[in-house]
Amino acid sequence: WMVPGLLLGGWLGSGLAVALDDTVLRWIVSGYCLLAAWQIGFGRTRTPADGSEVSPPRGWPMTLAGGGIGALSAVVGIGGGSMTVPVLVWHGVVPVRAVGTSSACGVVIGVASALGYALHAPAGALPEYAIGYVYLPAALGVAVASVLAAPWGTRLAHRLSGNALRKVFALFLLLVGLSV
């Protein structure tokens, strides 16, 4: 149910980001990172009282949520997990399943956003080996590094407690938000 919204949101968000003034875009990214750091570091999550999982949320409200998540993710340049996981957990999905679903949603957001950044950019926006704002050597490097580092990151994440992992991620987002 989220995929159509994620696709449309990623496409529209990339178009919006291309149209924004760079100073405005920096403030949006900084503000998002600071708010997400606060939410992850200090916010509360909702879980079912008995610890059981409910049916995954369905219907057009999830398509609308996907649209918002896709658009904001494209504007701030993230995969959307910091929004998708809380939405799913709020609807009663167990966190580990919400994280897995969020990873799949990140792929959808990435494809729609990259396509949007490639096609919304003005001609000649980047040098040779680029399609719009997508610089192919960098995209390939990030993809290879991500595939190679994913198993290491997964092992590290399983060694840390959930609380420690939240604090590390919140600190990272705080530093990014302050550096923009």
Distance CA 19, CA 73 (A): 16
Compare 163 and 179 and report the one with higher pLDDT. 179
Give first-to-last CA distance, the chain, whole Å.
Answer: 34
Show the tokens assigned to 136. Answer: 């192919």
Match 């595939």 to its residue by tokens: 147
For 141, residues 6+ apart whose C-beta sits below 8 A from its C-beta are none
User: Model confidence over 108-128: pLDDT tens digits?
Assistant: 999 999 999 999 988 888 889
What pLDDT, in 10s, does the model give residues 33-87?
999 889 888 876 655 555 555 666 788 888 999 999 999 999 998 888 888 888 8
Return the higher-pLDDT residue of 83 and 175. Answer: 175
Is the whole-model pTM more than 0.85? no
